[in-house]
């Protein structure tokens, strides 16, 4: 007798949680031109992240501990344009050729030594304001570190 309403309530709850997670998910750009235009429009700097999402342990930790945290996402959405240049190695995770080329161009300009993870704070014109990598610090401390590059 109660199963239909409970089932519906459960379905509504699951859908609501899914939608809210999509809304709060970090918006990552994957193209410099788009990121720079958004940064200029929103009077923000760009946080450029070089990652190896399926092979680089510190990259994976940084993603899990910092980028995916609600605290970081809530701060970043109003303060930075996020740009990711990912270099996956596993065949199943390979990027489309045009994306590989975009990421290679970013690496040629900003990551010639191939450091992973490499996190750069850039102004909308592409000038480097500061750089870091994985740090075993709190989200609040990581935000403060990125903010410190902005002067």
pLDDT in tens, the chain (151 residues): 555 656 655 555 455 444 444 444 679 999 999 999 999 999 999 999 999 999 999 999 999 999 999 999 999 999 999 999 999 999 999 999 999 999 999 999 999 999 999 999 999 999 999 999 999 999 999 999 999 999 8
> So what's the pLDDT on residue 151?
87
> So what's the pLDDT on residue 13?
46
CA distance 68 to 142: 13
CA distance 91 to 104: 18
> So what's the pLDDT on residue 26?
75
Q: What is the CATH number of domain 26-148?
A: 3.40.30.10
CA distance 36 to 40: 6
Could you tell me if 82 and 28 are in contact, meaning their C-beta atoms sit under 8 angstroms apart? Answer: yes
**For residue 5, how many C-alpha atoms fall within 13 Å in the half-sphere facing its CB?**
2
Site of tokens 């990552």 = 28
**Domain layout of the chain by residue ranges:** 26-148
Could you tell me if 42 and 80 are in contact, meaning their C-beta atoms sit under 8 angstroms apart? Answer: no
Alpha carbon distances (Å) from 101 to 33, 51, 52, 145 = 14, 15, 15, 30
CA distance 142 to 63: 12
Q: Based on C-alpha coordinates, what's the Rg of the chain?
A: 18
> So what's the pLDDT on residue 24?
46
| Alpha carbon distance, N-terminus to C-terminus of the chain | 63
């Amino acid at each position: 007798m109660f199963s239909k309403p409970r089932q519906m309530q459960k379905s509504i709850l699951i859908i609501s949680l899914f939608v809210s997670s999509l809304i709060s998910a970090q918006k990552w750009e994957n193209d410099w031109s788009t990121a720079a235009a958004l940064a200029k429009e929103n009077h923000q700097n760009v946080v450029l992240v070089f990652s190896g999402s399926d092979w680089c342990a510190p990259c994976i930790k940084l993603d899990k501990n910092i980028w995916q945290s609600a605290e970081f996402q809530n701060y970043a959405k109003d303060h930075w344009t996020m740009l990711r240049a990912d270099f996956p190695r596993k065949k199943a995770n390979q990027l489309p050729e045009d994306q590989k080329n975009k990421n290679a161009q970013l690496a040629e300009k900003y990551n010639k030594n191939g450091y992973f993870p490499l996190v750069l704070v850039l102004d909308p014109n592409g000038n480097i304001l500061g750089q870091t990598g994985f740090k075993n610090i709190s989200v609040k401390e990581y935000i403060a570190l990125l903010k410190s590059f902005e002067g």
